[in-house]
Structure 1
Amino acid sequence: MAKITWKPGNMIYPLPAVLVSCGDKKETFNLITIAWTGTICTNPPMVYISIKPSRHSYDLIKETKDFVINLTTADMVKAVDYCGVKSGKNINKFEITQLTPEKATKVKSPIIKESPVNIECILKDIVTLGSHDMFIAEVVAVNVEDEYIDENGKFHLDKTNPICYSHGGYFDLGNKLGTFGYSITKKKNKRKSNKKAKKS
């Protein structure tokens, strides 16, 4: 096996495939599919989305200074794709995709009812980069669907059947391979087992 060197490019996959909702009234509500998004700070909780200046949502968010990141599921994949290839300048994406806009708790932009997680964001800065500009925002509220919360108050995102985007395709998450810290836990459990064996 050998490595082949390509020209510089974005090859960090898979990525979340989210629907960002924006607009401060029903007439201006819009949806845009974003894959270039992520966490940039824990305290305060901050995230980013990157958008081309030519996109209709770019100016909407710049004007209203807020937006909502809505996580998506396998049931929403057709709408996710549609909102990524069509402009909302002359069409109503909520009506066409049959997604439901609902009032957010902290921002003017709507949340998507069908999304299991809605992350309400206040715009803090726009970083001009090149083909895309980075919208840096603070998370001011998170709404989760209660049917995925167990009796202990734990939210099970995996049960929502979330999707991601990888090199031109949409995928579900597949099998769980481990949990955070499991590589250390295994070693600790092994040491405990060895100690017990020696004592016996």
Structure 2
Amino acid sequence: MMKNLLLILCFFPMLVLAQEEDQSKYMVGAVPEVNGKVVFSQEINAPNLSKDQIFDAILAWANTRFKTDKGNWGMVAYSNKEEGQIACYGNEYIVFADKTFSLDRAKINYRMNFVCTPGKCNVEVTNITYLYPEDSRERLAAEEWITDKQAMNKDQTKLINRIAKFRIKTIDLVESLNEGAQKSLGAQNAPVATTTTTTTQQVAPVQTVATISAAPGDALQGYKRIAPDKIPGNIIKMLSEDWMLITAGNDQQFNPMTASWGGLGNLYNKPVTFCFINPARYTYDIMDKGDTYTLTFYTETYREALNYCGHNSGKDKDKVKEAGLTPITTPSGSKAFSEAWMIIECRKMVSQTINIDGISDPELRKQWAGKAMHKMFIGEILNVWVK
């Protein structure tokens, strides 16, 4: 017994040392900050590949990696082969402990950007937030949670216990994502350069100001313009499951409402959107009087904001502020929100109230008998903006 105890005591310091070595990659500087934002940056070298080859390989990997599966949600939100750029959104679980009667996990949301050039690919993981518990309404931003200042003691020699698990799992996730991208290029052993903390490096802009204006035809800060026929994603899922905001009005008066009815199409040889608004909604009159409007789409991170906008009226409260949304002004002069991953600007072409006599389905006729009918708005797509 004593012999076994001595063996354990002799081996214990080795265990502690190994544990400290294992945590070394999570210590000072492991979470890079760029201009006050947490930005994990990496360069993948693939010297024998062209820009197009790298782009095709990364896009194929991203389409497999970022998809909805087993409670996780993801998508390739933007891709432009000519520019060599790809942007993806991830929303998935990070598991801290999984025991028989206890499951400790959080939802992590993030954006992953790629810029492909001949022989290399620059990768960024940013816009990281957490939901913990996973059904919480309060999002924890990485900048306020896992940085050296937030996650380490004053001497920066140890991780703070309650925060350490978020920092460790985030770093592990970023490492896993980068390894997946590397392997897609056959570049498992390629030299890698990782960005360290700096205050001068420029990153893709993220809207944090109250309002940003642009003249018609100008670019929209923080977004890229794409053609309507390049709109990404499954519009049926994006509406029925993810929802959107219809925002009518201008700087003088505007209001958003959550909607799940609508679609995309082609009318009079123009790319169009169509949506439906009930006359009882505060947005209805603003939409009816105006010329332009926006349809905006969001990641799962902003589910609560959309839910709030769907259950509260802007007639008697500042629901934009209450929902935590940041208004911006589009080139057409309409209003949108910087939290959206995609903004579709529209100009009204046709509006028509749906008459109950035009409903052939008997169940729907019964359901809507005696009720105010929706008005359908069809709008020409002026611009499509994606982050």
TM-score, normalised to structure 1, is: 0.62
Tell me how many residue pairs correspond in the alignment: 132
Contact 1:101 1:110 in 2 (8 A): yes
CA–CA separation in structure 2 for the residues paired with 1:93 and 1:105: 24
Contact 1:36 1:49 in 2 (8 A): yes
Offset of residue 76 of structure 1: 0.8
Tell whether 2:338 aligns with 1:96: no
Alignment of 1:1-200 (within 5 A): 15=240, 16-26=242-252, 28-41=253-266, 43-106=269-332, 108-130=333-355, 131-145=373-387
Q: Write the deviation string for residues 114-162 of structure 1: whole angstroms up to 9, x where unpaired.
A: 10100001111111104211011110011110xxxxxxxxxxxxxxxxx
Q: Which has the larger radius of gyration?
A: 2
Q: 1:152 is matched with which residue?
A: none
**1:113 alignment partner AA:** S
**1:137 alignment partner AA:** G
**1:30 alignment partner AA:** N
Offset of residue 40 of structure 1: 2.4
**1:33 alignment partner AA:** T
Moved over 6 A (4+): none
CA–CA separation in structure 2 for the residues paired with 1:20 and 1:112: 11
State, as a whole percentage, how many aligned pairs show the same letter.
Answer: 30
CA–CA separation in structure 1 for the residues paired with 2:375 and 2:263: 14
Q: Secondary structure at the match of 1:45?
A: strand
**Structure 1 residues without counterparts, runs of 5 or longer:** 1-11, 146-200
TM-score, normalised to structure 2, is: 0.33
Q: Secondary structure at the match of 1:79?
A: helix
Q: Secondary structure at the match of 1:31?
A: strand
Contact 1:31 1:83 in 2 (8 A): yes
**Structure 2 residues without counterparts, runs of 5 or longer:** 1-235, 356-372
**2:245 alignment partner AA:** L
RCO comparison, higher one (Cα < 8 Å, 6+): 1
Q: Write the deviation string for residues 149-194 of structure 1: whole angstroms up to 9, x where unpaired.
A: xxxxxxxxxxxxxxxxxxxxxxxxxxxxxxxxxxxxxxxxxxxxxx
CA–CA separation in structure 2 for the residues paired with 1:17 and 1:144: 17
> What is the alpha-carbon root mean square deviation over aligned residues?
1.8
CA–CA separation in structure 1 for the residues paired with 2:289 and 2:247: 14
